[in-house]
Structure 1
């Protein structure tokens, strides 16, 4: 049987009048109902940015989708870098293994490089896809479930902060006013965190809905003694009761952001003190989150999910390595291999706690690694020594891996609170 002519399939940016067809293909690729209402099309219209939504068309029908948008990522040391965020990647089941993703990805990464983006980012639905495009898993996500009765809080004491602060329930409109400034403070201090668009705040507070299935959550804010907003949480509660009329309710966190340790402690205590709530689901948290240690009995929190989260693809090694700070002073020569030709080469990294320079060099390499492996290391969450053991990083000079770990790894693990 002859192979299909893949180049007869047109891969290109979509026009605005093709947006509905593109959304239908997106639904089909994610195994959702392959129909799109006019309400959904209009609700998602702000996501249409000319040139940033790609589609593959076979006989006029959209059979693959791809979207990218501008983003900022916080590097170690809390400098932000411009990123090409990738989302909505699908290939319809009838058109798999025809190179459509490779064509869309290649076009988008080339455009991102031309724009001057330092990295590209995504959340991978499947682990095995994106490594071949130079992406590496750079952060991890953990979810906890808290057994509230076992947590050890005294039910006779109200969950009122003892630091002069207070917790208040607020409405969605308040969140849209107060949330962006708080989140901006938080994400600029958290390596691995990403920026949120105004559209994110609209869709995550019900101002924009797609399918009429929106359920309004609860929103609570923590205010310090001087009235400053230092924390915010969105959560939902179910309505479940046992046969003997005992409450078995669960509070599920959609997102929780805090700018101070006191706000984090206060909000988790509040969630564990809500009448009838027997279980709290944490939502996406950092793998070394302090949450269990905030409970009188840390064993009341058990991990239900731990997996890779933010994937990073370096588009400019020099700017990426110069954007972050390092744990000690030292020099390394890195030989990076980039099969796609965006940012391979040999670089001298002269680094320290105050920053770094990263320049092309002809000196002998200390470490040789693929750009995807350097992406795994960029935010400080992976060990060079582990990758040497795995054989994905080659140590060219004895002791180079140990020095690289001292330079690159961070005391606290990076974390991306968001799905996109």
Structure 2
């Protein structure tokens, strides 16, 4: 889907009647770059790339860099070739999280019906705030004004009758704008878009559709449902047909159930030594386990991702005998998974660890007969020390003298 800016006139072209359009999607514009510009105002107006300073991938790009074809998730080498004059900055996840919390605090002043879906975007159902704050579009303007004034970063807002359309609207409002899609204009708006704009249309399904001459949402909507079922499968075909006609019953969820926590590292130099990779897994296991405990959840499955020097990527997973939030058990499972992976002569470029199938820590999970209670006490004590003195003050002994030698070009962590 095109993300090119649209004129103010185009943003208003769908009408002014926001009756019934109580769903807002708030999306921060080039968020990581916007935060960096707060601390580096001298870079405003210049092409800026966050992440990918050595061999990783681009985490974010300014609109000036995007004009050269640079985009997020692009390999760093390709980004530098397209825009050699770009200023490349190392990502600072803690700083982005700090500003994200400020933004979400502002949104929570509007309504408790708030669903944060990532570090830089959220849905709001403002039906309960209209009497106090005005119409949904007035609320959208208030949000944009307050976020800019209090945090210094711009936000785009989409206003619509459903989450799917509100998200599309905020995308088309970028950069730094707002777009209302009234209920009676929903289908016309959707049918003006390329088929790739629909939620759930990935690269493979888009290629399948385009091979059949279906390039737009309007063409998909006109395709018989039985044909879509044959092309995409019953479930996917049904869902896309409904979205193409503006049917999206999903509600704003005030508490989103986390599905996994994970972290991955892209190395400055390809690694061939298995012991080094195991030490990286150990560090990653402690990071994931600490976040599991902070979220009061347990993991029932551990997965690893391995990317070779030639970009061949594979994944392996293992279901645990009992759910856990302990690094020792997460590491043991991930190390065993890595043992089943052959390390090519050219080495490993990226290694990731993910804790999946999360369940609430209070759901009465039975302790395994051979579980060591001292291990749990030790790891929880480490949490307290790190919370007080910083995340690097206490580490497993095997990492203390080697951590510098496995310095990574990119480290990323997420919860989804």
Q: TM-score normalised to the size of structure 2?
A: 0.26
- Point out which structure has higher relative CO (alpha carbons under 8 A, 6+ apart): 1
Structure with more strand by fraction: 1
Q: TM-score normalised to the size of structure 1?
A: 0.26
Structure with more helix by fraction: 2
